[in-house]
Amino acid sequence: MFDAFYQRPDTFTLGICNGCQLFGLLGWVPWRGLAADKQPRFVHNTSGRFESRWTTVRVTDSPAMMLRGMSGLVFGIHVAHGEGLLHFPDAAVRAEVVGQRLVPLVSADDSEMQGLEVSPWIRMFQNVREWCKK
């Protein structure tokens, strides 16, 4: 059932929090066919605690459809997780993920949000609408 959905050209997936963890367990990210012992996964936070806080991110240049036209934008996002540390068991896989620009968001300094009049989150949903119209 998951494979049939994955193969459909008229669908997209949005994996937030446990959804992203599930995509990793299914072998959907960073790409299909990766051996289980090389599969990136989320592990317990370095602090050993559940973390819930506001953080700031910057959108990078990536093929992420929902973030099209948003490269360079800096904005706040709330995170809440116990397993938020992304672990790459294979450094070569990590290098390839970075090399293919598959890291759509990175941490940013809060001071970059000064002067931001409105939240750029709306653009993400406008991108989804445009994709669905096609």
Q: Full-prediction pTM beyond 0.85?
A: no
Residues 117 and 115: their CA atoms lie apart, in Å, by: 6
Residues 56 and 128: their CA atoms lie apart, in Å, by: 22
Q: What is the pLDDT of residues 56-107, one digit of tens each?
A: 999 999 999 999 999 998 888 899 999 999 999 999 999 999 999 999 999 9
Residues 52 and 79: their CA atoms lie apart, in Å, by: 6
Determine the pLDDT at residue 118: 67
Dmax over CA atoms of the chain, in Å, equals 46
Topology of domain 2-133, CATH: Rossmann fold (3.40.50)
- Judge whether 77 and 55 are in contact, CB under 8 Å: yes
Give the domain ranges of the chain: 2-133
Q: Which tokens go with 122?
A: 């709306």
Residues 116 and 98: their CA atoms lie apart, in Å, by: 28
Q: Which residue(s) pair with 75 in the sheet?
A: 57
Dihedral of the alpha carbons of 33, 101, 127, 129, in degrees to the nearest 10? -10
